[in-house]
Structure formats: C-alpha cells, structure tokens
Amino acid sequence: MLVEWQSCELIEMNIQIDHIHLIISIPPKISVSQLMGILKGKTAIKIFKSYPQLKKKPYWGNHFWSRGYCVDTIGLDEDKIKKYVIFQEKQERIEEQQSLEFGPL
C-alpha cells in the first residue's frame, strides 16, 4: 500500500461521493504536504489508467483531485475522531434526509 511505502500507517478511512476521510500516522521525516502530494499524484495516475474515460471530464484543471485538503493533528480525542471517520457516511445521509424533510436551515 502507498502509505506503508512511505513508512506511514493508515488507521481509518471512509470514502464519500466527493471526498475521503483518512486517519494516517505519519513519521516526523515526512511532511503532511509531501504525503498528500504523493497520495493525490499516485492515486490520480492509477485512477486515470484504470478509467481513461475520466480524463474527458472537466475536473480541476484536468486534475482528478482538487488542490486543497484539510489536516488536523490528533491528540487526546483520537478515539472520537476515529468514530467520526467511521460513521461519517451514516451521519451525512441522516443530515441529507433531514434537509429534504425540513428544507434548508
């Protein structure tokens, strides 16, 4: 796996329709931006190789991933964050359903 090749450990992952939540343990010798560049670059190459029709879609300047990402460090609440990542999809479905029932807030 790509993260293991970089001496990182994938702890949790949740894939949504338009984003991905990851909890990764990264050694101090690798910066977060370096790891994100590697992950986005290598996965985009693999996805475009497996699904060449995606190259025809107008993504972010012909790139599969958007430029940005959100990062936070984990301290005392690591278990809460793991649970959030695991159950994120279920929570988003509940919120979507409530939005449909009650309209925008």
Residue 44 CB: number of other CB atoms within 10 A? 15
Q: Of these residues, 51, 59, 69, 84, which one is catalytic?
A: 84
Instruction: Kindly report the number of other CB atoms within 10 A of residue 24's CB atom.
Output: 19
Is 59 part of the annotated catalytic residue set? no
Distance CA 1, CA 15 (A): 17
By annotation, the residues acting in catalysis are: 84
